[in-house]
Amino acid sequence: MADKKVLEEGKKKVKKIVRLINTDIDGNLPLVMALQKIKGIGKNIAKVICIKAGFDYKIKLQELDETQLKNIEEIIKHPDIPDWLKNRRRDRVTQKNEHLISSKVDIKLREDITRLKKIRAYKGIRHQHGLPVRGQRTRGSFRKNKTVGVQKKKALAARTGKSK
């Protein structure tokens, strides 16, 4: 393929960059760390995928051939993992437990935030105004793009009672 950088070393092909689930991953990484580069896959899920596929954690991604990569891709798309390990439990619409990967994570997050804004929930209002949602203090933090203090001329004029 044109998007893969392949170097010839004797009879063996070494893939520098491997494409897996619409993500370019460095082929020199161990399998567990390489799987974690895919959005929606963390350390525990990566270990479970390695066990299900029957590979060692430390094997390099570039050492796998196309059939093994297809096998890993199928396991990622349809994981047979316990419900407590999935990242989308009891979805509001379908009431099913799912494990989302890549762009589906962003889409569902955007839908959730839009729903919170639409029903005028506290978290939705905080999202609308660009304020912190999870109870952080705002006195010293989150002050980007806002006027922090007063200008000296206006403060001096207010103190003396003169206005310009």
Looking at residue 57, which CATH number applies to its domain?
Answer: 1.10.8.50
12 and 77 share one domain: yes
**Parent domain of 113:** 103-160
**In whole angstroms, what is the distance from residue 109 CA to residue 102 CA?**
12
34 and 69 share one domain: yes
Q: Give the pLDDT confidence of 40-95 residue by residue, as tens digits.
A: 888 999 999 999 888 888 888 888 888 988 998 998 888 888 888 888 888 888 88
Q: Is 90 inside a domain boundary?
A: no
Q: What is the pLDDT of residue 163?
A: 53
Q: Is 55 inside a domain boundary?
A: yes
Q: What is the pLDDT of residue 151?
A: 67
Contact 4, 17 (CB under 8 A): yes
67 and 114 share one domain: no
Q: Is 156 inside a domain boundary?
A: yes
Contact 23, 39 (CB under 8 A): yes
Which domain CATH number covers 132?
Answer: 4.10.910.10
